Amino acid sequence: MATSSMTILDDLFLDTLKDIYCAEKWILKTLSNMARATYSDEGKAGFLPHRNEIRGQIQRLKQVFGLLGKPARGRTFVAIQAIICEGGEIMEGFNRSPARDARLISSAQSVEHYDIARHGMLITGANPLGLTGAARLLHANLKEEDALDVKLTKLADAPANANDNDPTAA
Ligand SMILES: [Fe+2]
Ligand SMILES: [Fe+2]
């Protein structure tokens, strides 16, 4: 690959890494708030265990920064900000109920899909840059993201079904 193309890829990789590093920290905080806001024990069980995973993911991302010889520094991008704001609006705008749980799960899944997309971009970029160690760390994060996504999809059915008996449901 030509040097200028490598530089562009290098810059894109670092920008995306800063994006997801910042996003993970926000997600950690948001997920804790979402877990507190859920109505059902199943909802809490869906959110809470991922917090420790995120802490581990942040450590892996720090290691990736280290492999690049760069300081671990995040940068806020508007896309994740908007997705996280949506979660905040749900917590403020609806009473604690199965209906709110369904919305929170859906919002958490939007966050996860962002997380998955960004990790996918980084893994794709790591290989041509010869960052095999980084790719391995990012794969470990992605595996956890994918597993949570599957879990949230299963969880989405439970509160949605409970809406049948929920007077606050639309
Ligand atoms: Fe993550
Ligand atoms: Fe995640």
How remote is the CA of residue 27 from the centroid of ligand 1, in Å?
A: 8
Task: Tell me how far the alpha carbon of residue 145 lies from the centroid of ligand 1, in angstroms.
Answer: 6
Chain segment 141-161, per-residue pLDDT in tens: 999 999 999 998 988 876 444
Residue 68, pLDDT score: 94
CA of 119 relative to ligand 1 center, distance in Å = 8
Backbone CA torsion sign across 125, 22, 51, 27: negative
| Whole-number pLDDT of residue 113 | 94
Q: Supply the pTM of this predicted model.
A: 0.86
What residue ranges of the chain have pLDDT lower than 70?
1-3, 5, 158-170
pLDDT of residue 142: 97
Instruction: Say what the pLDDT of residue 118 is.
Output: 96
Phi/psi of residue 126, nearest 5 degrees: -65, -40
> Of 15, 44, 37, which is closest to residue 97 (Cα–Cα)?
37
Query: What is the C-alpha separation between 170 and 88, in angstroms, rounded?
Result: 19
**DSSP label at residue 1:** -
By the 8 A CB rule, do 160 and 39 touch? no
CA–centroid distance, residue 92 to ligand 2 (Å): 22
Domains and CATH numbers, the chain: 3-161 (1.20.1260.10)
28 and 56 in contact (C-beta within 8 Å)? Answer: no
Q: What is the pLDDT of residue 54?
A: 95
**Ramachandran angles phi, psi of 2, nearest 5°:** -65, 155
Q: Which residues surround ligand 1, an ion (CB under 5 A)?
A: 57, 115
Give me the pLDDT at residue 168, please: 44
Distance between CA atoms of 119 and 76, rounded to whole angstroms?
16
CA 132 to chain centre: 23
Model pLDDT, residue 169: 43
**Ligand number, closest to the Cα atom of 19:** 1
Q: Are 16 and 131 in contact (CB under 8 A)?
A: no
Please state, in angstroms and rounded to a whole number, the distance separating the CA atoms of residues 103 and 166.
14
